[in-house]
Amino acid sequence: MSLSGKAKVAAVIGWPVSHSLSPRLHGFWLERAGIDGTYIPLAVAPENIHDAIRALPKLGLRGANVTVPHKEAALQAADHATDRARRMGAANTLVVNADGSITADNTDGYGFLENLRSGAPDWTAAAGPAVVLGAGGAARGVICALLEAGVPAIRLLNRTRARAEALAADLARHFPAQPIEVGEWEQRETLLAGSALLVNTTTQGMHGQPALELSLAALPPSAVVTDIVYVPLLTPLLEQAKQRGHVIVDGLGMLLHQARPGFTAWFGSEPIVDEALRSHMLGFVGR
Ligand code: ATR
């Protein structure tokens, strides 16, 4: 629809930003709800990120998503931050408040959990420990969300063990009652025993990357398997898990669900994630 002079404006800020699927996603919701609003990509170089974020209220924007490499800078530039953004040390969602101040939030972990809950409705946090593969920014979001949800313990496995140790030590400050046990990458197959959830946050299995080398033989049949990779939708890990009869959850929904809080705050309408949105987005997911 065409915009009026009162249109609500939000953006995604990145460098580069051309790969971002967020304009397609928010554009779908805006169109579906018939909202007088728009969501635009803004390519902002690192040296300009602070000024660009501080300009959001001055330009009358409702807020923005922030993507690589600006997530840490976005947290720094905001006036306020949610607890979950502070725990992450990074923001992906900025909301301009009525007084012109900016609140930084991080909805990546929320998106992960909402996707997991909708794809595996029988999974409960209390079901048992979760194995998390990888120790980058994505793993941080996943672990925070799982511990907030009440998962009793995390087994963290990463090719570079020191990185996993550093992440575990840092997160232990926020979650002292729930252990984050770092295991040997070479032992990853045996460490699957007794776990209720397996999450891949590494880039292995992504289009153009080799498959994750992992036999699921030791994983209890009741365990849920999820991958944050969504290109391809069915990664070799999910394929193997499906063949073994595990409940599997693909990574596309994490992208869709993490966008919901921002849309609600900026445009005043609660968007839903459904099959129509998934198939719309799949049309743009590059392979
Ligand atoms: P993000 O912040 O998006 O999570 P990242 O910081 O690049 O991305 O992390 C990628 C993850 O994939 C890391 O855990 C990485 O392991 P290292 O810390 O050892 O680099 C993991 N990864 C990448 N290539 C891998 C490979 N060939 N085998 C195992 N893990 C791999």
For the cut 70, the answer to whether the pLDDT of residue 29 exceeds it is yes
Do 202 and 183 lie in a common domain? yes
Please state the rounded mean pLDDT for residues 191-216.
97
Do 189 and 202 lie in a common domain? yes
Q: What is the CATH number of the domain that holds 150?
A: 3.40.50.720
Please state the rounded mean pLDDT for residues 257-262.
98
The reply to whether 3 falls in a domain is no
Please state the rounded mean pLDDT for residues 138-159.
97
The reply to whether 68 falls in a domain is yes
The reply to whether 187 falls in a domain is yes
Q: At 232, which amino acid appears?
A: P
Please state the rounded mean pLDDT for residues 44-50.
98
- Arithmetic mean of pLDDT over the chain: 97
Place of tokens 């994630």: 273
How far away, in angstroms, is 79 Cα from ligand 1 center? 32
Do 245 and 119 lie in a common domain? yes
The reply to whether 177 falls in a domain is yes
Look at ligand 1, atom 14, and give the residue with the nearest C-alpha. Answer: 134
pLDDT at 287: 59
Do 33 and 155 lie in a common domain? no
pLDDT at 54: 98
Q: In a mutational test of the pocket of ligand 1, which residue from 88, 133, 159 has the highest number of ligand atoms less than 8 Å from its CB?
A: 159
Do 157 and 239 lie in a common domain? yes
Cα(123)–Cα(104) distance, rounded to whole angstroms? 30
Please state the rounded mean pLDDT for residues 215-241.
97
225 — pLDDT class (breaks 50, 70, 90): very high
Please state the rounded mean pLDDT for residues 138-165.
97
Q: What letters, b where the CB count within 10 A reaches 16 and e where it falls short, cover 195-228?
A: bbbbbbbbebbbeeeeebebebeebeeebbbbbb
Please state the rounded mean pLDDT for residues 204-229.
97
The reply to whether 287 falls in a domain is no
Into how many domains does the chain fold? 2
Q: Is the CB of 200 within 6 Å of ligand 1?
A: no
Do 130 and 69 lie in a common domain? no
Cα(114)–Cα(176) distance, rounded to whole angstroms? 24
Q: Is the CB of 215 within 6 Å of ligand 1?
A: no
Do 195 and 243 lie in a common domain? yes
Q: What is the CATH number of the domain that holds 25?
A: 3.40.50.10860
Q: Is the CB of 138 within 6 Å of ligand 1?
A: yes
Secondary structure percentages of the chain, helix, strand, coil, to 5 = 40, 20, 40
The reply to whether 168 falls in a domain is yes
The reply to whether 189 falls in a domain is yes
The reply to whether 2 falls in a domain is no
Do 247 and 126 lie in a common domain? yes
pLDDT per residue as tens digits for the range 71-95: 999 999 999 999 999 999 999 999 9
**135 labelled ligand-binding:** yes
158 — pLDDT class (breaks 50, 70, 90): very high
Q: Yes or no: say if 79 and 95 are a contact pair by the CB < 8 Å rule.
A: no
Look at ligand 1, atom 11, and give the residue with the nearest C-alpha. Answer: 202
Please state the rounded mean pLDDT for residues 140-168.
97
The counts of H helices and E strands in the chain are 11, 12
For residue 274, give its domain range: 8-106+259-282
**20 labelled ligand-binding:** yes
pLDDT per residue as tens digits for the range 1-18: 799 999 999 999 999 999
